[in-house]
Each structure stands twice: as C-alpha cells, then as structure tokens.
Amino acid sequence: MNNYKKNSINEIKKLINDTSDEMIPQLIHKLQVDERKGVKKLVLKRENEIIKKKNELNRLKILGEKECKLKKMGYKYVGGIDEAGRGPLAGPVVAACVILPDDCILPGLNDSKKLSSKVREQLEEKIKKEAIAWAVGLVNHKEIDRLNIYQATRLAMLKAVKRMLVKPDYLIIDAMKIDVDLPQEGIIHGDSLCASIAAASVIAKTYRDRIMNIMDKFYPKYGFKENKGYGTNQHILALKAYGHAPIHRKTFLKGNDSSTTVKR
C-alpha cells in the first residue's frame, strides 16, 4: 500500500482529480488512513461527487424509460415534442421535436424551466449533436391572435414534426395531441418525465429566447431581453406608458396597454 502521508495536500488534490471514476474507490480506500483534515475534506468531496453522479445517472435512466419501453414495442424513432412561449404577452410560440438515440446520456437534462439559461445553452449544443433528428416549428403573434394560443401551439408542434428529416414513428407530447397521422400520447408534465420531451423543451426555449433577444433590439422599451415577453411588472408598466409594440399579442393584453398604437 502506497503511503500518501508524505505527499502534500496539493499533490493529493491533483492525484484525486486525475484519478478516473473507476479507480477512485481504491485511491480513497488508501487515503482513509491519512488523518489530515485537508485530506479528509478532499476525500469527502470526491465521494460526494461520485454519489451525485450516480444519482444523476439513475435520474437520467428513469427519464428515458418511456422511450425505452416504446422502442421495445417496435417503435424505432420516438419523437418528443414540447413548446415554449404559451404564456407571454408578446412574440411567437415555438415548438420543437427531438428524436434521441438509444442510451443517450445528457447530464443535466430536465424541463427547460428548471434550468439556468447557461445550462440550457450547453444542453442545446449537446442535444443537437447527439439527436438523430430535431426540428423547430414557429407560429407568430398574429396567428396566435387569429387562432388562439392552444391551436397556435398545436400548429407549431405540427410544423416541427413536418420539418423532421427523420420522421418519427411515435410521438410523445407534453400534455397535448396534434392533428397528424401518427400514434401519439400526451403526457402531463412530460418535460419532467421523458428525455426526448425534455430535450424538445430545451431546444424550443433557447430558440425562442434568441428571437426575443433580437426583438429587444427593435423594441428596447419593453425589456424583452430580460422578460422574454412575459408580463413582468416592468413590462406591464412599459405597456401602460407606450402602448403595445407590433409583436404583442393583442388578445393577451386585457387592458394592460394604454392605447392600440405604439407611442413614438
């Protein structure tokens, strides 16, 4: 057995960081005889990291159970669908469809609403890289006013499916069903329960956020970069002061704006 007591704390820290997950239990076992508080702290930190990683892998395994079950039933390309932007006062509603490969591991994957913007953007890149196929569908504010938000959301989802380069043979959708000749299932809270729906929620959210960031440059008074079109206090005050912008959903305003035209 190696005697690491002769090593400095910094040397042991580097050794722990450089040791693979497969070999770390053996190293930790050897380090447990070291009574130094610094070493014990490093060992505890690494053990907690291992536990956290195992818990995350278990969570991701559970998250992918629905897709795994469907694939065992013979469905090869399970498309998960979710939307972003049903609630805002301005901008489009965006939907995404994503087909993930078998045994796809995307650490941190979850309902996009539970993630920071930084984590969403990191996951977006990984999803697009790993996915068998993905696509986005968009319905603008005018169509939302014409159709209503529920039907506009369904249309955005349908657009996303039709744009898939690899066609899904089964759809799992966050709490909805759409008019398409494919077997499908609406799953309540699907973005927290199914991997492909969670992936779609990330793609839809990041796509829509970028649109609203651009809209902020055209209409800076409303704070679209910060609120993404949602009815924050600052947004409501801007509506009362300036009226609505061209990208506002008139059917959503309900008296929040002071006029029917944008004050210049």
Q: Looking at the predicted structure, is the pLDDT value of residue 2 above 70?
A: no
CB atoms within 10 A of CB 259: 11
Whether the CB-CB separation of 245 and 236 falls below 8 Å is answered with no
CB atoms within 10 A of CB 53: 12
Could you tell me the two tokens for 244?
């609505």
Reduced to 3 states, what is the DSSP secondary structure of residue 94?
Answer: strand
Under 8 Å CB-to-CB from 33, ≥6 apart: which residues?
5
**pLDDT (tens digit, 9 = 90+) per residue, 211-233?**
999 999 999 999 999 999 999 99
Q: What's the pLDDT score for residue 261?
A: 41
Q: Looking at the predicted structure, is the pLDDT value of residue 33 above 60?
A: yes
Confidence of residue 255 (pLDDT cuts 50, 70, 90): confident
What kind and span of H or E run contains 95? strand 93-99
**pLDDT (tens digit, 9 = 90+) per residue, 183-194?**
999 999 999 999
Whether the CB-CB separation of 7 and 15 falls below 8 Å is answered with yes
In the block, tokens 């305003």 appear at 253
Confidence of residue 4 (pLDDT cuts 50, 70, 90): confident
Furthest CA-CA distance within the chain: 80
Q: Looking at the predicted structure, is the pLDDT value of residue 87 above 70?
A: yes
**β-strand pairing of 133-139 with 93-99:** antiparallel
Q: Looking at the predicted structure, is the pLDDT value of residue 116 above 80?
A: yes
Domains, the chain, in order of start with CATH, read 4-63 (no CATH), 65-214 (3.30.420.10), 219-253 (no CATH)
Phi, psi dihedral angles at 53 (to 5 degrees): -65, -40
Share of the chain above pLDDT 70, in %: 97
Q: What's the pLDDT score for residue 259?
A: 54
- Sign of the CA dihedral with 182 first, then 106, 129, and 114 last: positive
In the block, tokens 């509506």 appear at 239
Q: What's the pLDDT score for residue 80?
A: 98
Q: What's the pLDDT score for residue 21?
A: 85
Confidence of residue 5 (pLDDT cuts 50, 70, 90): confident
**pLDDT (tens digit, 9 = 90+) per residue, 122-181?**
999 999 999 999 999 999 999 999 999 999 999 999 999 999 999 999 999 999 999 999
What kind and span of H or E run contains 184? strand 184-187
What 125-131 contacts at long range (C-beta under 8 Å, 24+ apart), as own/partner pairs, is: 127/98, 127/100, 127/199, 127/202, 127/203, 128/203, 130/100, 130/101, 130/104, 130/106, 131/98, 131/99, 131/100, 131/101, 131/199
Higher pLDDT, 256 or 105: 105
Q: What's the pLDDT score for residue 257?
A: 72
Q: What's the pLDDT score for residue 6?
A: 84
Q: What's the pLDDT score for residue 262?
A: 37
